[in-house]
Structure 1
Amino acid sequence: MEEELLKKYGSERPGEIENLNGTTETVNFKFSTAVRFYHNMEDADFPLHWHVPGEIISPIEGTYTVTIAGQTVNLQPHDVLIIASGELHSITAPKTGERYIINYSTTLFQQIQDMAALFDTLYPFRLITHEEDPDLSDRLFALLTRMEGEYFSTAVYRESEIIALMLHFFTNIGRYEHRQNAEQVLDYPRQQDHMRRFAELCTYINNHCTERLSVEDLASRAGFSVYHFSRLFKEITGMTCHNYLVARRIIFAKTLLVDDTIPITEIAMRSGFNSIATFNRLFKAQIGYTPTEYRQMGNTKTGCEHPENT
C-alpha cells in the first residue's frame, strides 16, 4: 500500500514545508493556478508558519492536531478544517494516518462576489466536524476525494474541473451557513437582492476598512435601517458588522507588520484603530498573539510580496 501511494502521489505527499523563510511559506502551485493538493500520510510535524493561500485539512484515517490563532484543534476522520489566508499555524502528526491537505488561491475565488463575502467570514479558521455536521462533512469530503482524482489524473480540462469542484465545496459551506443563520425565510428575488447588496457592501468595507466607518453610515449605504442592517449582516455573513470590520483592519495590519521599520503604534493608527491598547487586545483575541509577538515570529521582511502573483 505504501509503495502504491508513493508511486501515485510522489512529491505531493509532503514531509516538510518546501519553501520556508522564517515563518513565511511560499506555496508552489505547480500545474494549477488554483489548488495544490497533497495526499499526506507522513508522521512529520509542521512548525509554526503562514502563507497567503488558504488551506484545507481533512483526515482520511487517524487524527491530526492543528494549532491556529492560539487554539488547538483535534481533527477526526472526515472533519474539515479551513484555515484562512495569512493565519499562523502549526501541525502535529500522529505516527500513522492519512489526510488531505489542500492549499487554494484566495485571489482567484475572491473575484466572485459571494465567494469573497464567504471567505471574509472564515477568519481565523472554520471547523466542520463529522460528529456535529455529518451530512455536510460527508459532502465536503466526497468533493475532496473527487478533486484528488482529477488532480492526479491526466484528463483534459482537469484544472477547470478542479476549480468547479472547489467552488462547489465552498458553495456547500456558504449555503449551509446561510440556512443555519437565517432568522426568516426570504423569497428568492428578495434573498438575491440582499446577497447582492451585502456583497457590494463587504467589498466597500474591505477597500475602506482603515477609515472611520459607523454602523449608521454603512446601514444607510446598504439601504436599511440600523436594526435590519445589523440583523441581516449577521444572517448573511455569520458575524456582526463590528467584528467583520475589526477582522479586515487586522488583515491590513498584518501586511504592515512584515516591515519592522514601522512602529506598532503607527500600524495601529494606519489600520483604523483609535488606540494601541485596543489594537493589541483585538489583535491577540483574533490571532492568538500580540502584534509584537506576531512580528517577532516572522523575523523577516520576505513574504510581503504576494506569492500567487510572482
Structure 2
Amino acid sequence: MQQAKLKEDRIHGDPMYPIRVYEIDCQPGEELLDLHWHDELEFLMLTKGSAVFRVSMEEYLLEAGEAIFVNAGQLHAGSIASDEPCSFKAVVFHANLLSGERFDLVWEKYIHPLLQQKYVTPVHIRPGGAKEEKELLELLELVFQDNLNASPLYELTTKANLQMMVAKLISLGGPSFREVPLASQPSQIDRIKRIIEYIQQNYSLPIRLEDLAALVSFSESYFCRYFKSITGKSPLVYLNGVRAQRAAYLLKDTDKKIMEISLDVGFNTLSYFIGVFKAHFGYTPSEYRKRERV
C-alpha cells in the first residue's frame, strides 16, 4: 500500500462529481488503513477477512459484509484482525453532493446537523441488524458496482442512492439531537490532530513527550491519557509505529543499509529499531526486506 498522509489532500472525484470509489487489498503485516481524516463523508465495507477499525474514540470489529460510516473530519484507522489477507471497498464523497443547493432545506435540516455530529447515527452497519441496515448495505453495494463499472446513468443513481443511505443512517439513530461529548468536540479533536500532524512531519527528529504536551498546553500525564483515549495508543507507541511504517517503505523501495534507515526514521539505536520493527510487523527489518522483494 502507498504511504498515506494524516490529513488527506487528495481530490476525491472532481468538482462536478465529488465522489470516488476505492478498492484496497492488504496482506498480513501491512497497515490496512493509516490514521487519517478528510473533509468528506465515507462508507467503507469489508469484503474479505476481518479487521478492527477505529473511528474517533471507538473501535469496531468488522467481518466481511459489514460496513462503517465515517463522518467528515473524524479520525479513523484500520488494522487486520487475523493472519489472513483483508480487503475493503470505500466510497468517499463530499456532503455537497447530497443537496441541490448548499443552503436548501435538506442541507439545513439534515446534512449540516449530520456534519456537526448532532444526529445520533450508527458507525457499525451489519447485515444482521435492523432492516434499514440491510437496505443501506444493499444500496452501498449498488454504489460500488455502478461506479466501478461506470454503469449507465451511474452519476444520477449514485447521488440518489447516497441520499437514501444517509436518510436510513439518520433514521437508524432517530431524529433526536445530541450534545457532542466534550472529548469528541472539534476543539478537543483538533488538538490531537495537531499533535499527530507534528509527529507525522517530524518523526525523524528527537521528539520528547514534554514537547508534545506543550504544543497543546497539557500536562504530560493528562496528555498521555487523552492521546490514548483518542488514538488507542500511547504517544510513544504511536510515534514508534509511524517510524516503523516509514522504515518499511524505505526497506521496500531503497537499497539503503538497515542502520542508515534506522537513523533516517528517528531511531538512534539499531537494536531498539529492530525490536520495535519486529513488534510492529512480525519480522526483523532484514526479514521484511527479503519477504517484500521475493
AA partner of residue 230 (structure 1): C
Give, in whole Å, the separation in 1 of the partners of 2:207 and 2:245. 16
AA partner of residue 65 (structure 2): H
Offset of 1:145 from its aligned partner?
2.8
Are 2:188 and 1:201 equivalent residues in the alignment?
no
SS of the equivalent of 1:35 reads: strand
Are 2:242 and 1:242 equivalent residues in the alignment?
no
Offset of 1:157 from its aligned partner?
3.6
Offset of 1:291 from its aligned partner?
1.1
Structure 1 contact 150–158 (Cα < 8 Å) conserved = no
Are 2:266 and 1:278 equivalent residues in the alignment?
no
Shift in alpha-carbon separation, 1:215–1:49, aligned structure 2, 3 A: closer
Structure 1 contact 78–129 (Cα < 8 Å) conserved = no
The answer for the alignment partner of 2:249 in structure 1 is 255
The answer for the alignment partner of 2:153 in structure 1 is 155
Offset of 1:266 from its aligned partner?
1.3
Contiguous gaps of at least 5 residues in structure 2: 1-11, 35-43, 52-60, 69-75, 93-123, 171-179
Q: TM-score, normalised by structure 2?
A: 0.51
1:21-67, Cα deviation, whole Å (9 max, x unpaired): xxxxxxxx9999843459xxxxxxx99689999597635xxxx5579
Structure 2 contact 89–144 (Cα < 8 Å) conserved = no
Shift in alpha-carbon separation, 1:256–1:242, aligned structure 2, 3 A: same
Give, in whole Å, the separation in 2 of the partners of 1:243 and 1:193. 24
Matches within 5 A, 1:44-59: 58-59=46-47
The answer for the alignment partner of 1:307 in structure 2 is none
Shift in alpha-carbon separation, 1:241–1:142, aligned structure 2, 3 A: farther
The answer for the alignment partner of 1:78 in structure 2 is 65
Give, in whole Å, the separation in 2 of the partners of 1:234 and 1:221. 16
Identity %: 24
The answer for the alignment partner of 1:110 in structure 2 is none
Shift in alpha-carbon separation, 1:142–1:226, aligned structure 2, 3 A: farther
Offset of 1:260 from its aligned partner?
5.0
Matches within 5 A, 1:1-310: 34-37=20-23, 58-59=46-47, 65=49, 76=63, 78-79=65-66, 91=85, 101-102=88-89, 141=137, 144-148=140-144, 150-151=146-147, 152=149, 153-155=151-153, 157=155, 185-186=181-182, 191-259=185-253, 261-299=255-293
Offset of 1:253 from its aligned partner?
0.7
1:132-154, Cα deviation, whole Å (9 max, x unpaired): x968xx58856743533542443
Structure 2 contact 278–285 (Cα < 8 Å) conserved = yes
Contiguous gaps of at least 5 residues in structure 1: 1-28, 39-45, 68-73, 93-99, 106-127, 173-183, 301-310
How well do the aligned residues superpose, as a CA RMSD in angstroms?
5.1
Give, in whole Å, the separation in 1 of the partners of 2:204 and 2:139. 37
Offset of 1:102 from its aligned partner?
2.3
Shift in alpha-carbon separation, 1:233–1:34, aligned structure 2, 3 A: same
Structure 1 contact 268–276 (Cα < 8 Å) conserved = yes
SS of the equivalent of 2:248 reads: helix
Structure 1 contact 47–90 (Cα < 8 Å) conserved = no
Give, in whole Å, the separation in 1 of the partners of 2:142 and 2:285. 40
Offset of 1:213 from its aligned partner?
0.6
Q: Which structure's relative contact order is higher, taking Cα pairs within 8 Å and 6+ residues apart?
A: 1
Shift in alpha-carbon separation, 1:30–1:248, aligned structure 2, 3 A: same
Q: TM-score, normalised by structure 1?
A: 0.49
Structure 2 contact 30–281 (Cα < 8 Å) conserved = no
Give, in whole Å, the separation in 1 of the partners of 2:156 and 2:29. 28
Give, in whole Å, the separation in 2 of the partners of 1:30 and 1:246. 33
Shift in alpha-carbon separation, 1:57–1:207, aligned structure 2, 3 A: same
Structure 1 contact 210–271 (Cα < 8 Å) conserved = yes
